[in-house]
Structure 1
Amino acid sequence: MTLRIAWGITGCGDYLKESVDIMKELTKEHNLEVRVYLSQAGETVVKWYKLFNELKSGFPRTFVEKSPNIPFLVGDLQLGKYDFLLIMPSTSNTVGKIAAGISDTLLSNAAAQAMKGKVPVYIFPADQKRGEITTELPGGKTLTLTMRDVDIEAVDKLRKMPGITVIGQPDEIRDIVKKHLEGRK
């Protein structure tokens, strides 16, 4: 039986290329069924990083948010059509909304409904630790960002929410996929 994953991408560029590469590798290695759901900002950032064509060729079933319910991801989550929801990478905006119980975007709504339907949610927030991070921009330049306390507090709140697992690095999805596959045996 094929593992089915709803993969949400927000407007976060940090670890975006790594996330795409890992998901492409895992899909080939384990014959996963992955459907990609881009937030409106996610589409913008994926195109800015010049990854849109690569994403579409690796994942032909890629959808872009039109509203919190279009495409109708929440219905498929509630009906058990996915084994889990993955949001990777995630902006602090999406993390803050989910932590506060706000579900006014495609991916914050999907997370809320997945939790209600007991579908596991895995999220990789780029902003997880106090201090500074250096990220690579399109074209190879780097940018140093200072994490805000409010963003770190939202991630800490997510860690305490039933049904959500915060992952520390995109590579951790490899073990999560293996765990779900082994659970099917």
Structure 2
Amino acid sequence: MGVLQGKTIVLGVCGGIAAYKAAALTSKLTQAGAVVRVIMTRSAVQFVAPLTFQTLSRHHVFVDTFDEKDPSVVSHINLADSADLVLIAPATANTIGKLALGLGDDMLSTTLLATMAPIWVAPAMNVHMYANPAVQTNMETLRSRGVRFIEPGEGQLACGYVGKGRLAEPEEIFAAVERHFTGEPGRLAGKRVLVTAGGTVERLDPVRYLTNDSSGKMGYAIAEEAVRMGAAVTLVSGPSALAVPAGVTLVPVQSALDMREAVLARLTESQIIIKAAAVADYRPAVVAEQKIKKKSDSLTLELIKNPDILQEIGSLKTKNQFVIGFAAETEALDEHAMDKLKRKNCDLIVGNDVSQEGAGFGGDTNVVRFYDQNGLVQALPILSKWDVARKLLELAADRMAAAAGES
């Protein structure tokens, strides 16, 4: 029996030429055993007839909020409650904006407001629309609420432009849905995973501090995927606006010293330790009790070195623990990553050149390379941070299983 057998997927289809791909997606999901309930916007029916989706899904298609087909239920509430997953593909800038603002003026938007199911969004639009700051802000708002995105592809668009904005292919969306319901269940069952994420805050005075550009997205993605794979996950995070993934125990911290204390207190109980946080290397030697006043044209600060948390973890780890570090570099990635792995006694290092397009802080994608004591293990193409997290955890699970079999 397939993983999608009996799962109810509410598929929202928005108005755009890419709506034709949603028909192929409906067919794939239905053939895999899913119950697909399609909601189309009024614009979507200008591109593909509802009868197409009705035939492929073998269920009525919903367009009008007030067209109640079953008098015993309120349709948008019934759909919202029955969904195991809500998937919007293609998702237009308009629908993304509605969801971000909490608007409910049609069948799809009211269902989205009412559902408690996970929401996945596959955008499709003109390259300039996709890059518009308003659209990007709306997407960032939704990500902070736990909405997941299936990144659009790059290529020839129907409008004639070439760039990012093309709906992901039905096969890619289908694979993402399958991964949502599988998550390699049980691969990390019984394991306790400790993840650090975000940047740290080093105070200068009550109103100023030193920090870095880390958003925490990579660490949060790792924590979320680890839960899906069955682990008990503790996330030690610096300040972040991200939503805490369901099932994750959050330990909020501020400074590098706070993070060190939180990590070391939980180290012995953890089998996998993943240090994805961007911890400040230095902190002010003196923290002023009052706001530092502007008195001259220059200000000299004395900084002292913070403890190296990853090095301490490496020195304390036991043979039953698996330690993963991150190396964010701007040059000589292979050399610096391998040096860090060996100096800090890690089992794996995830290296990324943060100057490379699609990698680094703040974004939703990353371009990484995995290293072990023998050198490069795998170089990944540009992927979403969730896909990177999944591949990293799968590799860690494989390595730990192999080590257990040898002992």
Aligned partner (choices 48, 54, 57) of residue 56 of structure 1: 54
Alignment RMSD, CA only? Answer: 2.8
CA contact (8 A) 1:127 1:151 kept: no
User: Kindly tell me: are residues 159 and 65 of structure 1, through their superposed partners in 2, closer, same or farther at Cα, counting changes over 3 Å?
Assistant: same
Between the aligned partners of 2:80 and 2:102, the Cα distance in structure 1 is: 18
Q: Structure 1 length as normaliser, TM-score?
A: 0.71
Instruction: Give the structure 2 partner of residue 103 of structure 1.
Output: 104
> Is 1:124 aligned with 2:128?
no
CA contact (8 A) 1:7 1:86 kept: yes
Identify which of structures 1 and 2 has the higher relative contact order when contacts are C-alpha pairs closer than 8 Å and 6+ apart: 1
1:97 to partner: Cα distance: 0.8
Whole-angstrom CA distance in 1 between matches of 2:131 and 2:66: 28
Aligned residue number for residue 74 of structure 1: 77
1:8 has 2:5 as partner: no
Structure 2 counterpart of 1:64, one-letter code: F
Mapping for residues 20-169 of structure 1, pairs under 5 Å? 20-28=23-31, 30-47=32-49, 52-67=50-65, 70=68, 72-78=75-81, 81-114=82-115, 117=116, 119-127=117-125, 131-132=127-128, 147-162=131-146, 164-168=147-151, 169=168
Alpha-carbon offset, residue 17 of structure 1: 2.3
Please say if residues 68 and 105 of structure 1, whose CA atoms lie closer than 8 Å, have aligned partners that are also in contact: no
Please say if residues 3 and 181 of structure 1, whose CA atoms lie closer than 8 Å, have aligned partners that are also in contact: no
Looking at structure 1, the residues matched to 41 and 77 of structure 2 have their Cα atoms a distance apart, in angstroms, of 14
Alpha-carbon shift at residue 68 of structure 1 (Å):
7.2
1:151 Cα deviation (Å)?
2.1
Supply the distance in 2 between the matched residues of 1:6 and 1:111 (Cα, whole angstroms): 10
One-letter identity of the residue aligned with 2:119: V
Q: CA deviation at 1:40?
A: 1.6
Listed one character per residue, the Cα deviations across residues 36-79 of structure 1 (whole Å, up to 9, x for unaligned) are 111222222224xxxx543332123132322278561223323x
Deviation of 1:8 after TM superposition, in Å, equals: 1.1
For residues 64 and 40 of structure 1, the distance between their equivalents in structure 2, rounded to whole angstroms, comes to 10
The structure number with the bigger radius of gyration is 2
* Higher alpha-carbon deviation: 82-91 or 65-74: 65-74
Where does the alignment leave 5 or more consecutive residues of structure 1 unmatched? 133-144
Q: Is the 8 A contact 2:12 2:86 kept in 1?
A: yes
User: 1:127·1:147 contact (CA, 8 Å) conserved in 2?
Assistant: no
Query: The residue matched to 2:177 in structure 1 has which SS?
Result: helix
TM-score where L is the length of structure 2: 0.35
Residues 96-118 of structure 1: CA deviation (Å, up to 9, x unaligned): 0111111222111211211xx3x
Higher helix share: 1
C-alpha contact 2:54 2:61 (8 A) present in aligned 1: no
The answer as to whether partners of 1:74 and 1:110 remain within 8 angstroms in 2 is yes
Which amino acid in 2 is paired with 1:161? R
Q: Structure 1 residues 155, 146: CA separation in 2 closer, same or farther (over 3 Å shift)? A: closer
Instruction: Note the alpha carbon deviations across 1:101-151, whole angstroms, 9 max, x for none.
Output: 11222111211211xx3x1111112149xx45xxxxxxxxxxxx7853322
Which letter maps to 1:88?
A: A
Q: Structure 1 residue runs of 4+, over 4 Å off? A: 68-71
- Equivalent residues, number: 159
The alignment-based identity, stated in percent, is 22
Counterpart contact for 2:65–2:76, Cα < 8 Å: no
Q: Secondary structure at the match of 2:83?
A: coil
The one-letter amino acid paired with 2:27 is K
Classify the secondary structure of the residue corresponding to 2:97. helix
Name the CA shift for 1:180/1:124 in 2 (closer, same or farther; >3 Å): closer
Q: For the residues of structure 1 that align with 2:68 and 2:8, how far apart are their CA atoms?
A: 19
1-structure distance, mates of 2:180, 2:132: 34
Inter-CA distance 87–68: structure 2 relative to 1 (3 Å threshold): farther
1:11 is paired with a residue whose SS is coil
Partner of 1:173: 173
